[in-house]
Structure 1
Amino acid sequence: METVSMIDVASYLPGDPVGTDYFARHARSDRMAQNIMFRAPTHRHHVAAGESAVDMAEHALTPLIDRHGTAAIEGIDVLITHTQLPDLPVLGCGADLARRTGMRPQCILDLHNGGCAAFVYMIDLARILLSTNGSARTALIVTVQNTAGQIFTQSDVRPLAQAAVPGDGCGVGLLCKSDRAPILGVECRHYPQYAGDMTAAIAPPRKYWEPGTGQLHISFTESKITTVFARGNRLVPEVALSVCEHIGVESTDIDTFVTNQPNRLFLRNWRDALELTPDRHPDTFDDCGNLFGAAIPVTLDTENRAGRIPDGSLVLLAGFAHAGDFAAAAAIRWGAAPDTDNQRRWHVHAG
């Protein structure tokens, strides 16, 4: 396989931060609210009324256009998107995003699985597509989380303990055939036996697309939470350590470990499992909440813009999805520090 690099990352958070009081004044008093899985972040962002997934993706793309030029984005060969809540029930946002930005990709994929680990999954798919297609040189991966301000703010859902945890945001990554910031290794693991364990509920019961009075929300029980928590504690370290073994490093060699951000306890347990200090495991949970699939690129971009990921750093991305039906990790030798813009432009245009 030809060497493929992730040479840039950018993100977008919609609107002003929303405080926990937005939910607290409507919260019910129940046992579920005491569960650590639902301990609320300090802030989160909500997609605005009428703001589409494509709108969010365009905002996230703006820094890439500023750094690499319009032509580099218009010339993207492979476009892969993941949208948590598609604006249309039968269509992802890839084709419309390409239309709005003037792209003419050879390949557009709307990825509907991968969940909180979708960004890593898209890295792997983009790497494979670029490596096996002689004419394709660049790929753009886009993950949109837009359920917090649409599903979790519904009048019947807002009082639930789960409602205060998610936030909305979008993250994008730019990849190309290059050795500038090589993807050193990726591992994706599917666990189909767990696929039926994530469910949605509406009261009174109906199919989500049928007319009715109940509002859609994720179905949680205490036993299900316990099961998912045990899986998540195991799956992320397993896949992360497997990538470390594959590329011949110890977990303690990782300079920056970026994961999805479901809650504080997962973050602590994953960090401890890899024997990393807090400064090497960025935490955006209190600022952004659980961003689902957008958490990894948003957190990565936040750290990079802050100058905390020098070029040459070993970056490991990892996460798990849904109730544990997927987990993935990717190792990257970082080469997109903010002071290397000119070099990044050269690699996008020259390959």
Structure 2
Amino acid sequence: MGRIILGTGSSLPSKVVTNEDLEKIVDTTDEWIRTRTGIQQRHISTTGEYTHVLAARAAANALEMAGVAAEEISLIIVGTISSHMLMPSCACFVQKEIGAQNAFAFDLNAACSGFLYALDLADKYIHSDKEKKILVIGAETLSGRLNWEDRNTCILFGDGAGAAVVGHSDSDRGFVGVNHFSDGNLWNLLYMHTAESTNPDIKVKDWPGAHIFMEGREVFKHAVKAMDDAVRGLMQKTGIGLESVKLVIPHQANIRILNNLVERLELPAEKVFINAQKYGNTSAASIPIALDEANRDGRIEENDLILFCSFGGGFTWGASLLKW
């Protein structure tokens, strides 16, 4: 162990879009959305609130909590699928925004699992060099990657960012274990194209646009089983029972997925942190936003075992266990 989270932070756009607001632009109702997803509202970016801007704000909040200066950061990893540019990376823009002049920076694309994958990578970097302090960020502006005429997807997603500062500790606190997976064979159940190719030889036939496509029912079935299996596998690998876990922070996909996961794992409701009703699905940002909220609300104490699990496009999924 010995690689711990020193501080957390999050940032959300100021604009809130309610289900009633969506009723005015797409064929849906508040009741329909609540019944199927549990989501009541989501935050949507406005002028200038690019992914890296939200990420930098979250990073600044995490640095402040950790008592770490931006110049002390060695590496910035941003989990995102919605940076406003493909190049430079969102992480490079964050580096510029916060003045982390001594860091190198890159993005990680694992959809909704991006933050957990990035946390695992940070843990291994610090294992090889305990002097490193690393910013791990999940940030998305999926509002710019949605078909706002598709009621099956546009109701689900929101914008936001969450961050954690990871560093070395001489204690026995830290990362206990991970159990991560992917399956590219199922890519066509949840995907998003980039801009259309300008090379005619490699153009995607019948290119449908650069926004999210999802087979909701199939994703639901795979997501619940995959996270259930990942959590059980992790508990078996670590030899720790679920009853020892203080708090479970899952990816905030939607309430139906979360309720089914809780039921399968036989978890008491008070052990599971859920905020999807307020923010919707913020993809890679969902777990770090929830983590920061739980942390600042006093739901986490030193030496608590915290369990994370996620599922996203790719497919990517997994679980992580942390001794706080």
Band the TM-score falls in, shorter-chain normalisation: 0.7 to 0.9
**Match of 2:115?**
119
**Match of 1:257?**
248
Residue 322 of structure 2 is aligned to residue 327 of structure 1: no
- The CA deviation string for residues 173-206 of structure 1, in whole angstroms up to 9 with x for no partner, is 111111454111112112222234323489xxx9
**Match of 2:220?**
229
Residue 207 of structure 2 is aligned to residue 217 of structure 1: no
Q: State how far apart, in whole Å, the 2-side matches of 1:289 and 1:208 are.
A: 31
Q: State how far apart, in whole Å, the 2-side matches of 1:209 and 1:80 are.
A: 30
Deviation at 1:257, TM superposition (A): 0.5
Residue type at the aligned position of 1:185 = G
**Match of 2:5?**
6
Q: State how far apart, in whole Å, the 1-side matches of 2:2 and 2:297 are.
A: 27
Which aligned pairs between 1:179-328 and structure 2 lie closer than 5 A? 179-180=170-171, 181-200=173-192, 207=196, 216-220=210-214, 224-322=215-313, 325-328=315-318
**Match of 2:203?**
none
Deviation at 1:247, TM superposition (A): 1.9
Q: State how far apart, in whole Å, the 2-side matches of 1:291 and 1:37 are.
A: 19
Identity fraction in percent? 21
Q: State how far apart, in whole Å, the 1-side matches of 2:16 and 2:197 are.
A: 29
Q: Does the residue aligned with 2:148 lie in a helix, a strand or coil?
A: coil
Residue 93 of structure 2 is aligned to residue 104 of structure 1: no
Residue type at the aligned position of 1:115 = A
**Match of 1:339?**
none
Deviation at 1:43, TM superposition (A): 1.1
Q: State how far apart, in whole Å, the 2-side matches of 1:63 and 1:125 are.
A: 22
**Match of 1:51?**
49
Relative to structure 1, the CA distance from residue 251 to residue 111 in structure 2 (aligned partners, 3 Å threshold; closer, same or farther) is same
Residue 58 of structure 2 is aligned to residue 67 of structure 1: no
Structure 1 unaligned segments of length 5 or more: list them.
335-351
2:40·2:278 contact (CA, 8 Å) conserved in 1? yes
Residue type at the aligned position of 2:126 = L
Deviation at 1:100, TM superposition (A): 2.5
Q: State how far apart, in whole Å, the 1-side matches of 2:20 and 2:303 are.
A: 42
Q: Does the residue aligned with 2:240 lie in a helix, a strand or coil?
A: coil
- The CA deviation string for residues 106-126 of structure 1, in whole angstroms up to 9 with x for no partner, is 5422112x2111111011111
Deviation at 1:26, TM superposition (A): 2.4
Structure 2 residue corresponding to 1:93, chosen from 80, 84, 90: 90
Q: Does the residue aligned with 1:307 lie in a helix, a strand or coil?
A: coil
Residue type at the aligned position of 1:257 = V
2:83·2:140 contact (CA, 8 Å) conserved in 1? no
Q: State how far apart, in whole Å, the 2-side matches of 1:242 and 1:17 are.
A: 38
Residue type at the aligned position of 1:59 = R
Q: State how far apart, in whole Å, the 2-side matches of 1:10 and 1:29 are.
A: 33
Deviation at 1:217, TM superposition (A): 3.1
Deviation at 1:95, TM superposition (A): 1.6
Q: State how far apart, in whole Å, the 2-side matches of 1:40 and 1:278 are.
A: 15
Q: State how far apart, in whole Å, the 1-side matches of 2:262 and 2:188 are.
A: 28
Q: Alpha carbon RMSD of aligned pairs, Å?
A: 2.8
Q: State how far apart, in whole Å, the 2-side matches of 1:147 and 1:309 are.
A: 29
Residue type at the aligned position of 1:303 = A
Relative to structure 1, the CA distance from residue 38 to residue 268 in structure 2 (aligned partners, 3 Å threshold; closer, same or farther) is closer
Q: State how far apart, in whole Å, the 2-side matches of 1:218 and 1:51 are.
A: 20
Q: State how far apart, in whole Å, the 1-side matches of 2:140 and 2:97 are.
A: 20
**Match of 2:23?**
24
Structure 2 unaligned segments of length 5 or more: list them.
200-207
Residue type at the aligned position of 1:157 = W
Relative to structure 1, the CA distance from residue 37 to residue 177 in structure 2 (aligned partners, 3 Å threshold; closer, same or farther) is farther
Q: State how far apart, in whole Å, the 1-side matches of 2:184 and 2:222 are.
A: 13
Q: State how far apart, in whole Å, the 1-side matches of 2:308 and 2:293 are.
A: 14
**Match of 2:134?**
139
Q: State how far apart, in whole Å, the 2-side matches of 1:182 and 1:201 are.
A: 37
1:79·1:105 contact (CA, 8 Å) conserved in 2? no
Residue type at the aligned position of 2:10 = S
Deviation at 1:280, TM superposition (A): 0.7
Q: Which moved more, 1:164-173 or 1:57-66?
A: 57-66
Q: What TM-score, normalized to structure 2?
A: 0.87
Deviation at 1:40, TM superposition (A): 5.8
- The CA deviation string for residues 25-68 of structure 1, in whole angstroms up to 9 with x for no partner, is 222269xx969995361111011122122211221123233334
Residue type at the aligned position of 1:287 = K
Q: Does the residue aligned with 2:10 lie in a helix, a strand or coil?
A: strand
**Match of 1:346?**
none
Tell me the matched-pair count. 315
